[in-house]
Amino acid sequence: MIAFLSMAMAVALSDPPVVDVATIDHGKHHGVLERLDAASLSLRTADGATKLPLAQVAQITLKGKSPSESQPTSWIECIDGTRMPAASFQLREGKAHWELLDGSSITTSARAVRAVRFYRPAAATDRAWRDYVSQRRPTDLIVIRKTSESLDMLEGVVRAVTDESVEFEFDGQKIPVKRTKLEGIVLSAARAAERPLKCMATDQHGGEWHVAELTIENGRVVLTTQSGVKWRGDPSFFSRFDFSSLGTVSLADLAPLQEDWHYIFPLPTDREDLIGLLKQRYAPRKGTCPATNGHSSGTGGPSLVLTSGTEVTYRLPEPFESLRAQAVIAPSAGRSGHVRLVISSDGKPLFSEAITAGDPPTAVEVPLQGVRRLTIRVEFGRNLHLGDELHLCHAVLVKPSSKGNRTDRNKPASTGEKP
């Protein structure tokens, strides 16, 4: 019993991974990855502790273990485009279960799975297979392997999958079909992957994961894909986390549609010269991320500087998935600096949070699906200070991923779940 518990603890408390980190401003860092969360990444380097805002990270490369020698029997594709080789795959009563090549396992809703291939991808059949997977049907398919170079398909309902066979319902009859006779199965279009894409992860066996949520701490990875697949395990299973594949646009480089500044109290209407000077003095501008009270917000990186009383509106030139930034008040405001950051779209609030001088940087991540007009307002804080400067550090608009499949949520699904 003691030996078992010791082994379990050793598995649960793996050593933190050694990584190389590339940033969007072409910086490079090497060290031990102690923590990664939604806002930042913490490294232990030869020069000491380093903390980077996640919005600044382009790619993380891990010094992982050699890939397992286990051979896959299934190649799984999820509705978000995530693809992974697996040692086994089963499906029953609306639940899909598979074991990965490192020995870890996944159990999730069958609705998260788009297709499963039972033979290693080959050039002779790849085109036909991709055609079957890309077509949207209200029914499931079994893809029949006529020869090593020829495929055919049959429409119906996949009721279950075991290691040996697929239970397929055709014209009201349930037929067991040996897996060796099938190239694979394609499940009907289920629901769209609605979670915003955070990064692309590549595992040691060539799998590509569309990651929506990611944390790394105490030598453990915990992630959720866009399709809702959850996994936790040793970071050495992965070789790379790529944040740059999304594509970003710097907010500071985007021309505002409209910008304005006002004081908390009405200014004299007969002093247009004074009002003009104040608006010019407090207009939004590009700046440099400050360090405040020992907290780093990516010191030296680009920022958008907005003073209290400022409102700026952008017309987004294309669809974006999210806005990411780190919000911090400049040291010039002293300890009493205080503002409220409000982000909205056509009057609909998207984000609102008080920012206090001296506090650690505040992570800003705002979903932008369907947003074409974006307004950022810095309201006066509790002290009504004129000119408290808020830096939106590494503020980027994240483009939607061009990878993966977008399924039709209006079409019915029959992915092994009983009606």
Angle CA 151–157–161, to nearest 5: 75
pLDDT of residue 249: 82
pLDDT of residue 404: 38
Question: Rounded CA gap, 324 and 350, in Å?
Answer: 13
pLDDT confidence tier of residue 295, bands split at 50, 70 and 90: very low
- Quote the CA–CA distance of 248 and 24 in Å, as a whole number: 10
Q: With bands split at pLDDT 50, 70 and 90, how would you rate the model's confidence at 1?
A: very low
- DSSP category for residue 119: S
The number of beta carbons lying within 10 Å of the beta carbon of residue 324 is: 26
Residues 6 or more apart in contact with residue 20 via CB below 8 angstroms: 28, 29, 30, 60, 61, 63
Considering the domain 248-398 in this protein, what is its CATH number?
A: 2.60.120.1060
Contact 245, 401 (CB under 8 A): yes
Q: Confidence class of residue 371 from pLDDT cuts 50, 70 and 90?
A: very high
**SS3 for 262?**
coil
Q: What CATH code is assigned to 2-66+197-246?
A: 2.30.30.100
* pLDDT band for position 401 (cuts 50, 70, 90): low
Cα(333)–Cα(292) distance, integer angstroms: 11
405 — pLDDT class (breaks 50, 70, 90): very low
Percent of the chain scoring above 70 in pLDDT? 80
Tell me which residue has tokens 């279009």.
189
For 121-130, 168-177, 184-193, 340-349, which range has the lowest pLDDT when averaged over its residues? 184-193
Q: Per-residue pLDDT averaged across 344-370, rounded?
A: 92
Mean pLDDT value across residues 307-323: 91
Residue with tokens 């036909």: 128
Higher per-residue confidence, 407 vs 135 = 135
How does the average pLDDT of the chain come out, rounded? 83
Position with higher pLDDT, 400 vs 75:
75
What does the DSSP assignment read for 85-105? EEEEEEEETTEEEEEETTS-E
d(CA 90, CA 247): 36
Q: How far apart are CA 391 and CA 10, in angstroms?
A: 43
pLDDT class of 237 with cuts at 50, 70, 90: very high
The residue ranges of every structural domain in the chain are 2-66+197-246, 74-186, 248-398
DSSP string covering 342-407: EEEETTEEEEEEEEETTSPPEEEEEE-TT--EEEEEEEE-TT--TTPEEEEEEEEEEPPPSSS---
Q: Of 320, 285, 321, give the one whose Cα is nearest residue 303.
A: 285
Q: Which run of H or of E encompasses 275?
A: helix 272-281
Report the distance separating Cα 205 and Cα 239, nearest Å: 9
Mean pLDDT within 272-297: 65
Give residues with Cβ within 8 angstroms of 171, minimum separation 6.
Answer: 156
Instruction: Give the chain's length.
Output: 419
Residue 384 has pLDDT above 80, yes or no: no
Q: Which amino acid is at 377?
A: R
* Whether the Cβ atoms of residue 163 and residue 116 lie closer than 8 Å to each other: no
Tell me the β-bridge partners of 154: 142
Q: Is the pLDDT of residue 418 over 60?
A: no
What share of residues in the chain are helix, strand, coil (percent, to 5)?
15, 50, 40
- Across 356-374, average pLDDT: 91
pTM value? 0.63
For the stretch 124-159, pLDDT in tens is: 999 899 889 988 888 999 999 999 999 999 999 999
pLDDT at 407 over 50: no
- The answer on pLDDT for 64 being more than 70 is no
Residue type, 193: A
Helix (H) or strand (E) holding 123: helix 123-134
Q: pLDDT tens-digit profile of 118-130?
A: 999 998 999 899 8
% pLDDT > 90, the chain: 53
Region of 175 (left: φ > 0; alpha: ψ -120 to 50; beta: rest) is beta
For the cut 90, the answer to whether the pLDDT of residue 270 exceeds it is no
pLDDT band at 259 (very low <50, low <70, confident <90, very high): confident
Q: Please tell me if the domain spanning 2-66+197-246 has the same topology as the one spanning 248-398.
A: no
Q: 166 is written with which tokens?
A: 């697929």
